[in-house]
Copies of this chain bind each other. A is one copy, B any other.
Amino acid sequence: MLIVQKYGGTSVANLERIRNVAERVINYKKQGHDLVVVVSAMAGETDRLINLAKQITPEPSPRELDMLLATGEQVTSSLLAILLKSVGYDAIALLGFQVPILTTDLFTKARIKEIKTERLRKELALGRIVVVAGFQGVTEDGDITTLGRGGSDTTAVALASALKADLCEIYTDVDGVYTADPRIVPRARKLRKISYEEMLELASSGAKVLEMRSVELAMIYKVPLVVRSSFNYSEGTLITEEDEEMEKVLVSGVTYNRNEARISIYGVPDRPGVAAKIFGPIGEAGIIVDMIIQTARPDGKADLTFTVPRPDFKQALEIVKRVGEELGIERLEGDDRIAKVSIVGAGMRTHSGVATKMFETLAKHGINIMMISTSEIKISCVIEEKYTELAVRALHEAFNLEGEVKEEK
C-alpha cells in the first residue's frame, strides 16, 4: 500500500517524540508499504515565530511571514529524515518548493493549485521514505507560501490525492473521533467509522480533531482518512464515504461550541434589501455570520437573530447599532453567554423524529432553546452557555451513544 501519514505538532514536540514517530514509520516500512510522511512544526514553534514577527509589527509583511513560519516544518522534516537515515532507512526530506507543491500567492492562507508527483514517485521507486514539510508550498514565482490553520492536514490529504494513495493517516494527540468531548462525557465512545459529511458537520459545529478544509478536500477526492493517536497503537476513526452501516446509526455524535455570540434585532422593516443592508457591512468587516433566523410579525415588521464568532461580537454589535438607527429598528439585543449544541448523524436522512427527541430532551432538563438550525444530517440549538455540559450529557444519553470503547470489531 501507499500510505500518507501526517504527524502533528504534539507528535513531534521534541526529539523523544520524533523518535517515536520514526519507530512507527519504520514499522510500516517493514510491512512493505510505501510511505510519504508529512510533519508539522514542533508544538509551540509556529507560535514562537509568529510572536517574534508580531514583536516587530502587528502586521508583518505576509510574504516574509510565510518565509519565517516555513522554517518550523523545515526543521522537523530535516530531523526526522536524519533520524531515519541514521538507523539505516533510506529517507529524503523535501520542502514545499522541492516537491513542488504549487499554490496561489495568497500568503498566510494560500491554496494548493497543483502537486507535481514526478519527484515523489522517483524517490518512492528508489525505496525511500519521503518526508515532506507540511503547511508550506511555493508560488510559480518561487515564493514560499503557507496554507493557514490546519495546513499540514491539507498537505497530507492533497498529497494522498495527487499520489492516489490507499490511505491518509492523520496522527494527533487524541485517539480518534468521539461521540462527544470525553472531557464532558467520560463515557463517550470512539467512532470506528464515520462519513465525510458527518465529520464535516462535527467539525463545523465544534469538534476540533480535524480542520474542515482537509475533510472537504478528502471528501472531494475520495481520500480515505484515518484519525488516530501517535501516542498509542489503538485503531483510530476511519472517515470515508457513507455506507449502509452508517445510515443505520441515528446519531453519531454530539458537539458544542462556546465561541459564538447572539445578536437580535427587533422590529426590522420587512422589505426587500433590508437583510443586505445589515449583513453587507458585517461581511465587509470580515465577520462570518453562522446562524440566521428571521421571523415575520403580524404588524409587517420582522425580528432578526443571528450569531457571530465571540471575538467579533463587539464590533458586530456596533455595526448593527449604526445600521439599525438608519433603518429605524425597535430594539437591539446582544448576548455572548450562549452555546450551540448539535447532534450529527447520517441516519437523520432516513429517520424521522430525531429533532423532536432533541427538543424534548432539552426541555425535560429545563433548557430553553433560543435558536434552531438544521441541515440534512445535523440539528443545532443555541442555548444559555451555563447549560452546555448538561445539554451535551443529556443528548449523549438520550441517543444511546454511551458505551465501552470498542477497539476491534
| A15 interface contact, C-beta 8 A | yes
Q: Is the CB of A67 within 8 A of B93?
A: yes
Q: How far is the CB of A97 from chain B (nearest CB, A)?
A: 7
> Contacting A79 at CB < 8 Å: which of B56, B86, B95?
B56
Please classify the interface of chain A as helix (H, G, I), strand (E, B), loop, or mixed, using the class held by over half of its residues. helix
Q: Is the CB of B60 within 8 A of A68?
A: no
Q: How far is the CB of A44 from chain B (nearest CB, A)?
A: 15
* Bound CA–CA A140/B350 (angstroms): 59
* Bound CA–CA A53/B98 (angstroms): 21
| A375 interface contact, C-beta 8 A | no
Name the residue on B nearest A69 (C-beta): B78
Name the residue on B nearest A19 (C-beta): B56
| A83 interface contact, C-beta 8 A | yes
> Contacting A56 at CB < 8 Å: which of B15, B65, B75, B93?
B15
| A123 interface contact, C-beta 8 A | no
Q: How far is the CB of A344 from chain B (nearest CB, A)?
A: 41
Q: How far is the CB of A17 from chain B (nearest CB, A)?
A: 13
Q: How far is the CB of A45 from chain B (nearest CB, A)?
A: 10
Q: Which residues of B contact A204 (CB under 8 A)?
A: none
| A237 interface contact, C-beta 8 A | no
CB-contacts of A130-187 with B (<8 A): 142-144
Q: Is the CB of A78 within 8 A of B74?
A: no
Name the residue on B nearest A42 (C-beta): B52
Other CB < 8 Å A-B pairs besides A68-B75, A71-B75, 10 of them?
A15-B52, A52-B75, A56-B83, A57-B82, A59-B86, A60-B82, A64-B79, A64-B92, A65-B78, A67-B95
